[in-house]
Amino acid sequence: MNQSDNLLTEIKNRNYKAIARAISLVENNSEIGYQLLNQLKINYNIPVIGFTGPPGAGKSSLVNALLKKLSALGQKIAVIAVDPTSPFNFGSLLGDRIRLSEHFNDENIFIRSLATRGALGGLTEKIIEVTDLLRSANFDYIIIETVGVGQSEVEIAGLADTTVVVLVPEAGDEVQTMKAGLMEIADIFVVNKADRADADRFVKNLELLVHEKPASGWQIPVIKTIAIKNEGIDDLILNIKKHFSSNNINDRKNLLMTEKAMRLIMSHKTKHIDRIQLLNDIKKEMKNNYFNLYQFVLKKVSEL
């Protein structure tokens, strides 16, 4: 049995150390990581729940409360916390120990922080592969908490089975400017910190926006929560289960997978290219005042 086979067995048994090592191998584009991905038995019956929304909405507090409730029910949960990237070492700026520290020793919960590493859409380049790894490990739920960059964060809607958009009452003035993006990606709206002023009015405005959306077989709920008091969490879990069981077709997932397939195909086609040699060739050609990048590329392509 080779190393990838051993890892695969440990992943199926939900060995957290093996899962963490497998994620690192995949993130670092190692050969063992590639072998592992090719052998995965991916269970698409495991719900993937994405939490997104603007900074300060209380996503981490909400995820904390959700984890506490699900763990108490004996559920096994994997959490991917997608964090901003340090410009110095390309690692995660925040980190799981800070944001989700109270669950760090909970045997029902696996937590991993991933850095965006400059990826667009608020996610990270290897998010699909990491999610597939976790879907092979017999968890009951997979939760993805994003960096929360607002309207531009649309990849999560393609990756997650259920996308939860978290807002606070103070976001009322921003809703009109975010309307198109929010209505495009939200499966569930959560108004967190609902004990604040104007919460009820904000909820009613969101409900009006929801009713404006063309019928899609799923009526988007607007849920009030106070995460730090664990209020509204049962209602949120109930609606997550309802949405997952509604068999709502997510065309965005097909588009995301197509884009990912294109990236993987390009990666395989270009993996034999020597980047150092390419750099040296470009340095040499750049000495020519009439250097044309596009002609240079066409010449390289013809040589492949």
pLDDT tens digits along 212-222: 665 567 889 99
Same-domain status, 117 and 209: yes
The pTM score is 0.82
Same-domain status, 149 and 111: yes
Residue 275 domain boundaries: 256-303
User: Residue 83's beta-bridge partner residues?
Assistant: 115
| Count of alpha carbons within 13 angstroms of residue 149, beta-carbon side | 16
Same-domain status, 163 and 291: no
Same-domain status, 105 and 150: yes
pLDDT tens digits along 5-25: 889 999 999 999 999 999 999
Q: What is the pLDDT along the chain (304 residues), one digit of tens a residue?
A: 577 788 999 999 999 999 999 999 998 888 899 899 999 999 989 999 999 888 788 888 999 999 999 999 999 999 998 865 443 334 444 444 455 667 778 899 999 988 765 444 445 678 889 999 999 998 999 999 886 654 445 677 788 899 999 999 886 666 666 655 666 788 999 999 999 988 999 899 888 888 766 556 788 999 999 999 999 999 999 999 999 998 766 677 787 788 788 888 887 788 788 889 999 999 999 988 888 988 999 998 888 7
CB 241 within 8 A of CB 221: no
Query: Number of folded domains in the chain?
Result: 3
Cβ atoms within 10 Å, residue 251: 8
| Count of alpha carbons within 13 angstroms of residue 302, beta-carbon side | 6
Same-domain status, 215 and 152: yes
**CATH assignment of the domain containing 116:** 3.40.50.300
Q: What's the pLDDT score for residue 86?
A: 41
Same-domain status, 177 and 46: yes
Same-domain status, 10 and 67: no
d(CA 125, CA 30): 15
Strands (E) across 66-135 are located at: 77-83, 109-115
d(CA 181, CA 186): 9
